[in-house]
Amino acid sequence: MDATAQHVKDFCKDLVNDEKSHEIVHWEDTLISKESISTKVRRSVKKVVKCFAKGNNKNNEEEKEVVKNNGYKRLIALGDIHGDHDHLISILRHAKLIDEENNWIGTDAIFVQLGDLIDRGGETRKVYDTILKLREQAKEKGGEVDVILGNHEVLALQGNHLYTSLDDFDSFGGVEALEEEFGPEGRFGKFIRQEMNITMIINDSLFVHGSITPEHIPEGLDNLNQVTREILLDTPTVDELYDLFLNGVSHPIFANKIFDTGSGPICSKKLTNGDEREICSILEETLRLTNTKRMIVGHNVQFYGKIRTKCNNKLIMIDIGISRCIGGGYYGYLEMLLDKNEIWARYFKK
């Protein structure tokens, strides 16, 4: 494990020193879409899973009603961070979500981060501390911060450290301390289990880390979220998972198809890698089943830091390689101007 962690650290260092494409390639802000962005009252996936996590009756329709149109003017969506705190801060400042002291000022905005805060880079602890602080500040000052479940968050709960940097181990005080922090009683572990959503609908946009196809939601989107929440809340410590394994028991955090590393909604690249002649009809059916207009995804790094779309802008791919530790280091995010019905790809250079 030490050797693997050292390799991840060295690999990141090499990329930061040798990969310079982000210093050469710079994109201009691009208007992706200008169409009506619905803010109608609808079922809120987020509220369903939170109520379920607290033990409320999941059949209580009153608890499952949507949060009404809150009058926010902007929605900022950000792709995978992978332990790069400096780039996270730079983007949040550029998007006018935080000030120079890194405090929340986005009182007119919803901020959605699409998962994979952790791994590769060595600043995971700082990234999580910042996100959790901003969530609490937004609740007090106005605005909203939501985080989608990424596959690397799942790896942390599973005890899989293949992509964990030695710097991350050191910042937590060792592997045991890191696993404790991401365990059922740890601050970050509780956040993942209780607060992260596998998917969310905000207004008429569907957010997910990988991608969702009709096969993922035979019983509906709410069911997908509820089942995921059950599994997350039931996921014990890494040591307890290992004991289950030794006794021939595979916990659902490994065995359930939701967490399948190839085809599950957290990891699937079926839509992002597929030919448009084949995937657009699948996407259209997913949007029909979820009563949404577009799907916004991370997970699949886009070449040269450019936000790309497919199927007439109905699939928007915003993982642009923000972290310097995956050969990226680009600055960019998606901005929806809800009061103007515009969707923009925003870019800048430091």
pLDDT digits 0-9 by tens, 188-226: 999 999 999 999 999 999 999 999 999 999 999 999 999
Answer yes or no: is pLDDT of 30 > 50. Answer: yes
Residue-wise pLDDT for 137-177, tens only, equals: 999 999 999 999 999 999 999 999 999 999 999 999 999 99
Answer yes or no: is pLDDT of 297 > 70. Answer: yes
The closest of 122, 115, 178, 98 to 324, measured between CA atoms, is 122
- The separation between the first and the last C-alpha atoms of the chain, rounded to the nearest angstrom, is 35
Both tokens of residue 208? 């997910």
Q: Which CATH number is associated with domain 2-347?
A: 3.60.21.10
pLDDT band at 22 (very low <50, low <70, confident <90, very high): confident
- 């940097």: which residue's tokens? 165
pLDDT band at 49 (very low <50, low <70, confident <90, very high): very low
Between these two residues, 90 and 60, which has the higher pLDDT value?
90
pLDDT of residue 23: 86
Q: How many CB atoms lie within 10 A of CB 126?
A: 17
Please give the sequence-ordered ranges of beta strands (E in DSSP) within the chain, or none if there are none: 30-34, 74-78, 109-113, 144-147, 199-202, 205-208, 294-297, 308-310, 315-317, 332-337, 342-347
SS3 of residue 159 by DSSP: coil
C-beta separation of 272 from 303 below 8 A = no
- What average pLDDT score do residues 20-47 get? 74
d(CA 259, CA 85): 27
d(CA 281, CA 221): 19
pLDDT, the chain, mean: 90
Both tokens of residue 196? 């992260």
- What average pLDDT score do residues 249-253 get? 95
Q: What are 3's strand-pairing partners?
A: none
pLDDT of residue 36: 77
The bridge status of strand 308-310 relative to strand 315-317 is: antiparallel
Answer yes or no: is pLDDT of 121 > 70. Answer: yes
Per domain, the residue ranges of the chain are: 2-347
pLDDT of residue 70: 56
Between these two residues, 64 and 305, which has the higher pLDDT value?
305
- 């009404």: which residue's tokens? 68
pLDDT of residue 56: 41
pLDDT of residue 157: 97
Identity of the residue numbered 81: I
- What average pLDDT score do residues 242-248 get? 94
pLDDT of residue 39: 61
Find the range with the poorest average confidence among 16-20, 29-33, 149-153. 16-20
d(CA 95, CA 215): 36
pLDDT of residue 40: 53
How large is the angle between the packed helices 124-141 and 187-194, nearest 10 degrees? 60
Both tokens of residue 42? 């609808």
The secondary structure of residue 214, as a DSSP letter, is: G
Answer yes or no: is pLDDT of 59 > 80. Answer: no
- Whole-prediction pTM: 0.90
